[in-house]
Amino acid sequence: MAELLPLFPLTTVLFPEMLLPLHIFEPRYRLLVRRCMDDDRPFGVVLIRSGQEVGAIAEPHAIGTEAKIMAFSPLSDGRSYVVVRGIRRFALEQAMPDAEPYLVGRVRYLDEPEGAGALERAEIAVEAYGQYLVAVMAVTDDARGDRAIVDELATVSPHEASYRIAASLAVDATERQRLLELPSDAARLEAEKNLLERETMLLRDLLVRLRAHGEGRVTLN
């Protein structure tokens, strides 16, 4: 059954279970946040397909994540900082740009099946993530190189592992959106394993080049 949900188009992807800090400064989004706070209701975060965060309402991707406000810090000039937590995915069935000053969508919430072989794929993806972190640490001082992250990932469900890995990967928003849209934990973990293997190979090649030129570490974006 479709439901109405206020939408916040962004240039980043929010995954279920993950936190996202936001700076709220446009009047329309101040209104959105105030209404969500007053009514204790969620809103949706959607990646922009075309357009900008500021100005005319952007065209969003069709799959987004419901977000709940977890922390709210108002400023004296009307702006605020909020931290939201991703709750569940939805499919945008109809965008309603004229319903409110901000975008509203008619959405359908999506199931979150584990999929066949999710546990085994989680173990393989976590191991690939460990190799990725070793490569990251070899060429940067990035905190993603902490082995404790891998140890913790090994203790969580395939569902949570799939989203934690997705959120921490140093890939662009298009790749993140592709991961968000995959229909099951197993499919997401398999895609992440492939991405991790690709990124690890690229990092190892970079390390070889850095050492060949006697250069130091670099910073990942």
The Cβ of residue 91 has, within 10 Å, a number of other Cβ atoms equal to 15
Residues 6+ apart with CB under 8 A from 78: 30
Phi, psi of 217 (to 5 degrees): -80, 165
State how far the Cα of 153 lies from the Cα of 89, in Å rounded to an integer. 21
Distances (CA, A) of 39 to 33, 85, 101: 10, 17, 18
Pick 3-109's CATH classification: 1.10.287.3510, 1.10.760.10, 2.30.130.40, 1.10.40.30.
Answer: 2.30.130.40
10-residue mean pLDDT series, the chain (221 residues): 92 97 96 97 96 75 98 96 98 93 96 96 96 86 67 92 94 96 98 96 89 65 48
Closest CA to 17 of 185, 163, 148: 163
- Residue 27 zone, left/alpha/beta (φ > 0; ψ -120 to 50; rest): alpha
pLDDT for position 215: 64
pLDDT for position 67: 99
DSSP assignment, residue 141?
Answer: -
Distances (CA, A) of 130 to 90, 126, 140, 207: 30, 6, 15, 17
pLDDT for position 147: 73
pLDDT for position 218: 54
86, 15 contact by CB (below 8 A): yes
Residue position matching structure tokens 């050492």: 211
* Measured CA angle at 69 (ends 146, 191), to 5 deg: 45
Closest CA to 170 of 137, 199, 212: 199
pLDDT for position 50: 86
The Cβ of residue 24 has, within 10 Å, a number of other Cβ atoms equal to 22
> What are the domain boundaries of the chain?
3-109, 118-212
Q: What is the pTM of this model?
A: 0.89
